[in-house]
Chain A
Amino acid sequence: MSAEPISQFGQSPMRVQKQIQLPFSKAWQISVRSIRIRLARSIITAGGIFLGIAFYSSVRASSLFPIGEGPEAIAEANRQTWLAVMALLVCFVGIMNSMLMSVTERFKEIGTMKCLGALDSFIVKLFFIEASLMGVVASIAGWFAGWLITVTIRLFTDGVRAFGPNFLTGSLIQMVTAVGIGTLITLVAAIPPASRVARMPPAAALRSEI
């Protein structure tokens, strides 16, 4: 219990209880519902993540195919590195953009939930769960799509001989990296604005326009 409420009016001060902290399962339940309920919007947001990661993954998948030796190979390796960096940048901007949009358009909803008794931490939890779920699912799908495109093209142009010796482990590592990067960027884009609004006085959150 915090400081004794002070009454200037001489009556015995009444106490205010502390708001209960809802269990994680409740936040999970509400987040999953929230994604499902606005499915069309969620798919558009996830689409941004998907495209970003698919692009990155298709570029990365090129490195699964050996490029031989000599100056030409070095030039090609440099080109691939450069492409991967660019892809990562594009993917970063794309995910940031779609996540920021989807959080910003819900500032008013966050303000409303605070008026109804939601704790700041609960709101952050909601957005953390939502962003993680969207990030993981969209990144897995994006990685697979990008990987499939590059591998298919290589298969048709060069045949099975083009596959490097570490094709499987390489793919696996790339999957983990892509999902990690995708989820991380999604969280970085979603959590700071959501927690900033969650910490605002509700009046300010309700005022915020898109």
Chain B
Amino acid sequence: MAANEYVVRTKGLVKIYTMGDEVLRALNGVDLDIRRGEYISIMGPSGSGKSTLFNAIGGLDRPDEGSVFINDVDMAQLDARELAYLRCHTIGYIFQSFNLIPVMTALENVMLPTVFAGTPTDEGIERAIELLNIVGLGHRLHHRPAQLSGGQQQRVAIARALANHPSIILADEPTGNLDLKTGEEIIALLRRLNKEQGVTVISATHDLKMVDVSDRIVWIRDGKIAKIEERADVEINIGQMEGEEALV
């Protein structure tokens, strides 16, 4: 069915930040269609508008113009409780700085979305353990974030993002705070989950390692989409532009 083909569509997205006299169009007319089950990377230099786009798609901030459709529903039409439902059930968020609740254990962090979903506690615990096993942290259930490495914290965050079976995972520079090797592991994990669970992954990044696993790469610059490429095309281009190491 056509209604199922695109999980996210944006139309003419504009986000304006005003700082004193300065007017900055952090997003300047972004049209983007994302297919169900895709792994898509939003690439661009720092300050190009990736996080702003992430916030708009995730319903974390309102754009000044244009619309975001999630499963063909216009987000601007939703009331607070419908928006909360969407954040709880349809989208899973991953951040550069992990954003785990520091006083909660890994298990409690992963469980939290199930609490907001009204899942019975037993089921929530079961689901959280299952997910922590999937991300390879079955032996760290009762550790606090401070007792985990950066890579492990990001795994907890990934497990948490999956808690309520979302159709979309939104990641904002998920490898930004990690070393090279850990970053690669996180990317591989996201790709695996995308393949195995069929969850659409949308990841903002300037990490070229992401190119290798993405189905499509959206290049963004100054709040505009510069180009959209299928992976096959990009590998050649980057190979030429950045040399061998970019291919990983």
Contact = CB atoms under 8 A, between A and B. Distances in A.
Contacts of B69: 7-9
A115 B82 contact: no
12 contacts: A3-B77, A4-B77, A13-B72, A16-B90, A17-B89, A19-B116, A22-B118, A117-B116, A117-B164, A118-B84, A118-B116, A201-B61
B88 A112 contact: no
Given A34-B103, A38-B103, A109-B101, A13 B88 contact: no
Interface in B70-84: 71-74, 77-82, 84
Interface string B216-237: 0000000000000000000000
Contacts of A193: none
A203 interface: yes
Interface of A: 2-9, 11-22, 26, 30, 34, 37-38, 108-109, 111-120, 122, 201-204, 206
Contact of B71 (A3, A14, A34, A120): A14
Contacts of A37: 103-104
Given A8-B67, A34-B103, A206-B99, A2 B87 contact: no
Contact of A116 (B3, B11, B113): B113
A5 B78 contact: yes
A201 B102 CA distance: 22
Given A5-B74, A14-B73, A201-B61, A117 B84 contact: yes
Contact of B113 (A3, A109, A117, A202): A117
Nearest to B104: A37
Given A13-B72, A13-B73, A37-B103, A116 B112 contact: yes
B155 interface: no
B51 to A, nearest CB: 8
B60 A117 contact: no
Given A7-B69, A7-B72, A117 B78 contact: no
The residue among B73, B89, B117 with the most chain A CB atoms within 10 A of its own CB is B73
Of the four ranges (under 10, 10 to 19, 20 to 34, 35 or more), the interface on chain B belongs to 35 or more
B61 A8 contact: no
Interface of B: 1-3, 6, 9, 11, 55, 58, 60-62, 67, 69, 71-74, 77-82, 84-90, 93, 95, 99-104, 112-113, 115-118, 160, 164
Given A26-B115, A206-B60, A206-B99, A19 B84 contact: yes
A201 B60 contact: yes
B115 to A, nearest CB: 7
A11 B3 contact: yes
A7 B160 contact: no
The residue among A4, A17, A19 with the most chain B CB atoms within 10 A of its own CB is A19
B87 A203 contact: no
A12 B3 contact: yes
Nearest to B62: A201
Given A3-B77, A19-B85, 17 more contacts: A2-B78, A6-B77, A7-B73, A7-B74, A8-B69, A16-B78, A16-B85, A17-B85, A21-B81, A22-B118, A109-B101, A116-B87, A116-B88, A116-B113, A117-B85, A119-B81, A202-B60
